Amino acid sequence: MADTTLMANAIRALAMDAVQQAKSGHPGAPMGMAEMAVALWSRHLRHNPANPHWMDRDRFVLSNGHGSMLIYALLHLTGYDLPIEELKAFRQLHSKTPGHPEVGITPGVETTTGPLGQGITNAVGMALAEKLLAQQYNRPGYEIVNHHTYVFLGDGCLMEGISHEACALAGAWKLNKLIALYDDNGISIDGQVTPWFVDDTPKRFEAYGWNVIGPVDGHDVQAVDDAIARAKLSTDRPTLIVCKTSIGKGSPNRANTAKAHGEPLGEEEIRLTREALGWPHEPFVVPQEVYEAWDAKARGAAQEQAWATLFEGYRAEHPELAAEFERRMKGELPAGFAQVAADAVAAAHAKAETVASRKASQLALEAYTAALPELLGGSADLTGSNLTNTSSTPALRFDEAGQPNGGRHINYGVREFGMAAIMNGIALHGGFIPYGGTFLTFSDYSRNAIRMAALMKQRVIHVFTHDSIGLGEDGPTHQSIEHAASLRLIPNLDVWRPADTAETAVAWACAIESRERPTALLLSRQNLPYAPKAGLDDIAKGAYVLAEPSEVGLKKKAQAVIIATGSEVQLALHAQAQLAQDGIAVRVVSMPSTTVFDRQSVEYKRSVLPEGLPRIAVEAGVTDFWWKYRVEAVVGIDRYGESAPAGVLFKHFGFTAENVADTVRVVLGK
């Protein structure tokens, strides 16, 4: 049997050497979790270093991502394409070993873990995806979806409130293949956590409906191994394994201190640590016998081959299921989706209904969820308001044995942040396109997970309804003022604020087709009239010419352009008509997505917003955002709202056709 002490010490040495060379980093957690890693990675984890994307691999999430040298050492030692040169370049520009693990940068990293608590929450999403796919695709004799999701997490993850949201749901969903190993070392940046972290963590997780194993000695490989083996026997509960460890284990003077957490040990302490560990090797030198002990390439190849053989048998007996499973895991849409989308948009245009854009969203979803079994919806306790449920997506429920009922709409409860990060995990796992709803003002709760989806380039769709002061009587706590503008500031996030049913159907289609960007759909509570339009093709470009002066009886060229989004498009059209009575010709541009429009060609953007024409923007939100389009004026709102019926509020804050028309007159000096 391999020398587990040498295997663990290799992790410690690589961690302290890389952090020392970078002159920054967190050596303590990797040094403290080394034996936990030996137990999991060498005795339980099913993975193939030659193919990090094997569909039925176990997922491993390092939720306390500041300890990134742990996973980098493991990936290097087990045989992934992460050579020692990359470890020497830890935290350096363009290396594959950034300060916190980043999916898409380092082979074998499943999710980007930096903000504490989101890793465990992503893992809940991954475990949910595994359970739902298993229920949909496994057949007798063919368990083609059968893997675990393992998480390492620390005190910081458990102190973050999002861990409560996610772990409570994991218990409710009976995610028995989710196994979390808690690095219980009692130290954070500020020192011993006992003055400020007094939770009884085992009882907390028992209350969630988890199995709790331990405390076990986190430095006893066999004890951790046995605990994982017990956890894998669970059929109806996730498991927390409490591992008592010493942060910075092996360091004579830094172990069990906050100094081991987030700074290099220093050359002298590293020398002493090498002596204490009996590790005489130079920095970044690992003996061949240790590499051989860690090497997972042959085992991983055999595990994947066994699965591939199983899958070929499955394909022979269930060819349609096999093809659909592969399509979904690759993230590809069915060949007919483009026609489904075109039909949905055409139907919306033909019906020209006056409905709230949240209802328009549900109408579009009826078509899309029927065509796409991978659409997995949900809402943070606002299903009747967000309208994210459809006839194809009954509520997801689990029986006493933990088996799902086939439902595709998740009741997340009042857990906006947890919902957003769980959706990230679902998307990262593959097989589903997740979407979830709440009020736009509560995007503040979700924001960091939305940012992480954008950073990770994940196809996640946020349905944000009640998008403005149009919410009405609930007042300023619920009325979104700055939220549209602030979401547009997140790089790689597409934001749509559609004006009617056709724009909403297009926005949904674009969100579904967007494989490397998350999307936020901002939708109204109040009814919006359909905006007549000559064509539909340009909606997907984010902005288009909705109405020229000729459409209100003027035969002259436009003297100004009114740019509007969402519910304010109708105000722009009415203002255009009023101005036409005075002989003032204006073009109305609907701009449902500024982010998409900004990616269009210069030629197209100039065709929509011609140079030299004064521009006036109209949106029921803060005005600062709109100056980037070189507008002359903005009809907006730069203060918080009031509690009153929506119609009263719009008039009170100047969102009337008359005020828009008067603003145009002022700009033109009329």
261 is in an annotated binding site: yes
Phi, psi of 383 (to 5 degrees): -55, -45
**Three-class DSSP category at 435:** strand
**Shortest CA distance to 6 belongs to which of 407, 333, 286, 422?**
286
187 is in an annotated binding site: yes
Q: Provide the 8-state DSSP code for 186.
A: -
204 is in an annotated binding site: no
Catalytic residue among 110, 160, 304, 416: 416
66 is in an annotated binding site: yes
Count the alpha carbons within 13 Å of 587 in the hemisphere toward its beta carbon: 20
349 is in an annotated binding site: no
Q: Which residues contact 380 (CB under 8 A, 6 or more apart)?
A: 412, 413, 414, 415, 416, 419, 436, 437, 438, 442
The CA-based angle 487-490-494, given to 5 degrees, is: 70
148 is in an annotated binding site: no
CB burial of residue 450 (10 Å; 0-12, 13-18, 19+): buried
Distance CA 316, CA 648 (A): 64
Beta-carbon count within 10 A of 140 CB: 6
358 is in an annotated binding site: yes
CB burial of residue 204 (10 Å; 0-12, 13-18, 19+): middle
Strands ordered across the beta sheet of 544-547: 544-547, 586-590, 560-564, 615-618, 633-635
- Beta strands 544-547 and 211-217 are unpaired
Query: Is residue 547 a contact partner of residue 587, using CB atoms and an 8 Å limit?
Result: yes
116 is in an annotated binding site: yes
Distance CA 122, CA 590 (A): 36
Query: Is residue 123 a contact partner of residue 64, using CB atoms and an 8 Å limit?
Result: no
Reading the block at residue 166, the tokens are 């996610």
Q: Which residues contact 430 (CB under 8 A, 6 or more apart)?
A: 55, 129, 328, 329, 330, 331
Distance CA 561, CA 537 (A): 21
Give the sign of the dihedral formed by CA 279, CA 38, CA 166, CA 239.
Answer: negative
In 155-273, which ranges are E strands? Answer: 178-184, 187-188, 191-192, 211-217, 239-244
Query: Is residue 640 a contact partner of residue 476, using CB atoms and an 8 Å limit?
Result: yes
Is 304 in the active site? no
474 is in an annotated binding site: yes
Reading the block at residue 357, the tokens are 């854009």
114 is in an annotated binding site: yes
**Shortest CA distance to 148 belongs to which of 341, 35, 4, 303?**
303
In 246-347, which ranges are E strands? Answer: none
Query: Is residue 461 a contact partner of residue 512, using CB atoms and an 8 Å limit?
Result: yes
Beta-carbon count within 10 A of 473 CB: 12
Widest pairwise Cα distance in the chain: 91
525 is in an annotated binding site: yes
Beta-carbon count within 10 A of 602 CB: 7
End-to-end alpha-carbon separation of the chain, Å?
A: 89
Indicate the annotated binding residues for Mg(2+). 155, 185, 187
Indicate the annotated binding residues for substrate. 26, 261, 358, 385, 466, 474, 478, 525
Indicate the annotated binding residues for thiamine diphosphate. 66, 114-116, 156, 185, 261, 442
Catalytic residues: 416
